Amino acid sequence: MNHMERAMAALTNEPVDHLPAYPIACGVNRNLLPGNVTYHEWCTNPKLFADAFVAGHKYYDFDFAIGLMDLSVMAGDLGAHVRMDEENTPFVDKHIIHSVEDYEKLEVPDIKKGRSGVILEGTKIFAEKLKGEVITAGFLEGPLLALTQTAGAERVFMDMFTNPSAVHAGLKTMTDYDAQMVEAFGKTGANGLCWDYLWANYSCLGDKEYHEFEGSDKYAAKLNRMTVENGMALCIHNCADMPHLDTQVKEFKPVIYSMAYYPLIPGSPSASEVIEKGYADNCLIGGNIDPQFFIRATPEKISKVTQDLCQEVKTALCKRGLNSRYCVASGCEVPPDIGTKKENIKAVVDTTKKYGVVKC
Amino acid sequence: MKVSQIAGFLGSGKTSALMKIASRLVEQGNRIAIIVNDVGEISIDSRFVEANGLEAKEISGGCICCQIAGSFAETLAKLHDSFNPNIVIVEPSGVAIPWGLKRAAEYSEVKADMIVEHAPVITLVDASRIDMLLKAVRRLVETQIREADVCFVNKVDVATPQGIATTEEFIRSINERAEIAHMSTTTGEGIDLACEVIVNRISPRYDDSMEEERLRSQYGKKGGN
């Protein structure tokens, strides 16, 4: 099977030659480009952004390409100050919400400018270059994540209780911003759009609060619908320790759901639990190798971890009567650090090819 | 280098406690650095930092555990190389997961020639407004308590006896193994104990705990062959 055949089969629960593999390697792929491209250059230059995904696909033999940049793109374009070191993931170091009134002052920026423009243009380039070779997707921060990046998470969580109308005002602007981005991503040629709805996490919000502040038809549900209406498959990434699986998988109905696993946190769902509880019945689940293994483990160690994950997944798929519907991936982005070992990324893909053959 | 976490939700008194504790630890001859994640309403005063011979860094924009783990590790490694503290006190965001922060701290070992060890995780719970916190951010407070080694019932000088009792009962219902103590940065109660916890006690490394969990799930037992 080629990449497209394998990915399409896994998406539709058809038999696969082996499980698909996609360690979420994004910024780290810049190390494959000529000329020692820095993180700063990669995340501000659409051509370099795109070329890195193409190079990553060719070098590692990935089955997907998802255009994650970082989680400060929207906040930065809204006016928050983003600290951008040469080789680190950029992050907001100065929020722009300092009072309840400030939520009302947020305005959707010009999405053709700033790093919103970079990610849109870069996604268009790599979607064109990888067309027909792998499934491609853009990546976008959900409204609540974008608001917490802009205002500070603790503030937003307190304001949800003390000043909910202000938070809703902020979320409306974020949703309008996201809506413009969805329409623009729809024109890039990407096959899908991957949402980061980070706060669908029982460690932070219950079902009622999550529904009020993101899950409802005013916000995420509306944006999910728009994603499909704009010709893209709905994908969701959530690296929470205790994700809202019923809402995000059963209610939102994404075709791909990417998730992490925290073995030391009671209640964090393992791959086999997710499959056994039916979440892979209608959705391709991606997960769940610890991202820090890519820096700190040896290739032998990460191969063993991958082999164990393949075995766990295959057993659970067979028990559930499924043929595929699992992609071996990292639980969150492979650290874009210069210390990340290429051979570890390669080891995950190669081990999946060898041990990801599903025979029930 | 020892990494100490002082967790607690916005307004729990983390920053004031951290400054008192850091100041006391410096008096005891320690070399202290501070990292603040997702700064709240009160920042660490630069005059305080200078007067106490500390080094302070702010890192923001998300949770240390995940989105900015790389930047956090880089900050720790740079602190080691430039200032060489024996203790780094981290004031994590109220939404950070203590295990995730431990993992991110150990990640810095690939960036500098050092071994990270962890002080017990300290969580502060504001007894003066426990009822409001339980209504507003109950899940976040529960998560911080669940992963704490020592919980300090904070602001006991202004909290009512009922508020203190409710806070202790709540902590016990979430985390039976956590040690519970009282703190007031106004009277100084609990500051010496917090320093003793940070200097003399150790909390398990993420790596070791993961390996133990792997063996447990594979062989149904802890550690061993």
CB contact at 8 A, A32 and A51: no
Please state the domain count of chain A. 1
Return the number of CB contacts < 8 Å for A and B: 122
SS3 string, A57-126, reads HHHHCCCEEECCCCCCHHHHHHCCEEECCCCCCCEEEECCCCCCCHHHHCCCCCCCCHHHHHHHHHHHHH
Q: Which of B36, B68, B115, B147 to mutate to test the interface with A (most CBs of A within 10 A)?
A: B68
Tens digits of pLDDT across chain A (360 residues): 999 999 999 999 999 999 999 999 999 999 999 999 999 999 999 999 999 999 999 999 999 999 999 999 999 999 999 988 777 788 888 889 999 999 999 999 999 999 999 999 999 999 999 999 999 999 999 999 999 999 988 889 989 999 999 999 999 999 999 999 999 999 999 999 999 999 999 988 999 999 999 999 999 999 999 999 999 999 999 999 899 999 999 999 999 999 999 888 888 999 999 999 999 999 999 999 998 889 888 999 999 999 999 999 999 999 999 999 999 999 999 988 877 899 999 999 999 999 999 998
**Chain A residue with Cα closest to B39:** A152
The pLDDT of residue B94? 75
Q: Which domains does chain B have, with CATH numbers?
A: 2-122+184-219 (3.40.50)
Residue A360 resides in a domain = no
Residue A275 resides in a domain = yes
Chain-centre distance for alpha carbon B133: 19
For residue B62, is pLDDT > 90? no
Mean pLDDT of all residues belonging to chain B? 85
Answer whether A154 sits within 8 Å of B209, measured CB to CB.
no
Residue A75 resides in a domain = yes
Whole-model pTM: value is: 0.91
User: Could you give the count of Cα atoms lying within 13 Å of A74 in the half-sphere of its Cβ?
Assistant: 30
Query: Rounded to a whole number, what is the distance in Å from the CA of A221 to chain B's nearest CA?
Result: 24
Per-residue pLDDT tens for A275-306?
A: 999 999 999 999 999 988 898 889 999 999 99
CB contact at 8 A, B133 and B167: no
Please report where in the chains the tokens 């930092």 appear, as a residue: B49
Q: Please give the structure tokens belonging to residue A176.
A: 């309008």
The enclosing H or E element of A328 equals strand A326-330
For residue B64, is pLDDT > 80? no
The domain that holds A43 is classified in CATH as 3.20.20.210
Query: Rounded to a whole number, what is the distance in Å from the CA of B47 to chain A's nearest CA?
Result: 20
A36 touches chain B (CB under 8 A): no
| Set of chain A residues whose Cβ sits within 8 Å of the Cβ of B136 | 157-158, 160-162
Q: Please give the structure tokens belonging to residue B163.
A: 């508020």
Question: Alpha-carbon distance B221 to B190, whole Å?
Answer: 37
pLDDT band at B12; cut points 50, 70, 90: confident
A152 touches chain B (CB under 8 A): yes
Regarding an ipTM greater than 0.95, the answer is no
Answer whether B97 sits within 8 Å of A95, measured CB to CB.
no
B115 touches chain A (CB under 8 A): no
Per-residue pLDDT tens for A307-325?
A: 999 999 999 999 999 999 9
B125: nearest Cα among B106, B140, B107, B110 = B140
Please report where in the chains the tokens 């951010």 appear, as a residue: B137
Question: Alpha-carbon distance B37 to B3, whole Å?
Answer: 14
Per-residue pLDDT tens for B21-31?
A: 999 999 999 99
Residue A240 resides in a domain = yes
The pLDDT of residue B10? 76
B71 touches chain A (CB under 8 A): yes
Domain span at residue A263 reads 3-355
Q: Please give the structure tokens belonging to residue A298.
A: 């040896």
A304: nearest Cα among A274, A273, A338, A348 = A348
- Which residues does residue A196 pair with via DSSP β-bridges, in sequence order? A141, A237
Smallest Cβ–Cβ distance between B10 and the set A154, A265, A332 belongs to A154
Answer whether A263 sits within 8 Å of B139, measured CB to CB.
no
Per-residue pLDDT tens for A215-266?
A: 999 999 999 999 999 999 999 999 998 999 999 999 999 999 999 998 888 8
For residue B141, is pLDDT > 50? yes
Question: Alpha-carbon distance B145 to B129, whole Å?
Answer: 16
Answer whether A89 sits within 8 Å of B71, measured CB to CB.
yes
Answer whether B99 sits within 8 Å of A262, measured CB to CB.
yes
Answer whether A92 sits within 8 Å of B136, measured CB to CB.
no
| Set of chain A residues whose Cβ sits within 8 Å of the Cβ of B141 | none
The pLDDT of residue B215? 67
Question: Alpha-carbon distance B211 to B215, whole Å?
Answer: 6
Answer whether A162 sits within 8 Å of B71, measured CB to CB.
no
Question: Alpha-carbon distance A110 to A186, whole Å?
Answer: 17
Query: Rounded to a whole number, what is the distance in Å from the CA of B68 to chain A's nearest CA?
Result: 7
Query: Rounded to a whole number, what is the distance in Å from the CA of B87 to chain A's nearest CA?
Result: 23
